Amino acid sequence: MTVRRIASIGFLILLTTTALAETATEKAWSILNDASSNSSMEKREQAITALGLIRKDSHAEELAVKALSDGKVDVRNAAANALGAMDARESIPDLKKALKDPEISVVLSAAHALLMMKVPAAYEVYYAVLTGQRKSGQGLLADQRKMLSDPRKLATFGFETGVGFLPFGGIGMTAVKALTKDDTSPVRAAAAKILADDPDPKSGEALLTATEDKSWLVRAAALDAIARRGDRSFASKIEARMDDEKPVVQYVAAAAVLRLNEAPARHLRKKP
């Protein structure tokens, strides 16, 4: 077989492989395009969720952004989560608009997506989850207040959108789920932990208030967040929590005070 013959065969193989790849790509987009506009809500949700696997693709982002306006809540949730997974920074303005969605689950999904992209606007939502108020002092919409006061729904959306991650080390997931059946403290505690990275002084004050929350889980998470924020002026303000009725809160308060005061460890000599 001549060199020219071998080269011709190689070129044909390359063309065939390229054609197959293009055919597969076209088929893939056809599937996702059709499903994302399907009359079935379930199929739209599943297709939009799958788009989160595709990064740096303008068409995938366009489909997900369009889904933010879908008439079904589950599809809008999927859209926000997909955009976060894509790291779709061009969609930041659209996600900010989604923060005003009447459904709190969509708001949480959009906030989580923005948080993944380190957009400060996300903290507004976590502030509201912790305090029940917006930073502006305005109250929440009636439907949003209703959702925030519903432990089961808030917990469900929280765990689905990243707000309900284990809020405080040292407590097992079983305990978190047990608490969630009775109140919203695990999700509020998780929101407190997220606010550790919010430089806004209002969040610092909200965390300080949360150190006196009726839920020990929220108190512990707030102290943890205050310690991580690193504002040394808070050290004296949380000293009282070292006498908290809950031992775990005492421990976190003690560690937080030491961290904020940057105090060196003292090694006490044991008595003979």
Cα separation, 30 vs 35, whole angstroms: 8
Domains of the chain: 43-119 (1.25.10.10), 124-262 (no CATH)
Q: Supply the pTM of this predicted model.
A: 0.75
Which amino acid, one-letter code, is at 255?
A
Secondary structure E strands in the chain? none
- Quote helix, strand, coil % in the chain, to nearest 5: 70, 0, 30
C-alpha span between 186 and 171 (Å, rounded): 11
Residue 21: phi and psi, rounded to 5, are -65, -45
120, 150 contact by CB (below 8 A): no
Tens-of-pLDDT digits for all 272 residues of the chain? Answer: 555 555 565 555 655 555 555 688 888 999 999 999 999 999 999 999 999 999 899 999 999 999 999 999 999 999 999 999 999 999 999 999 999 888 878 888 899 999 999 999 999 888 988 887 777 765 555 555 555 655 555 555 555 544 444 445 444 444 445 544 556 777 788 889 899 999 999 999 999 999 999 989 899 999 999 999 999 999 999 999 999 999 999 999 999 999 999 855 444 444 44
Coil, strand, or helix at residue 200? coil
**Both tokens assigned to 129:** 């989850």
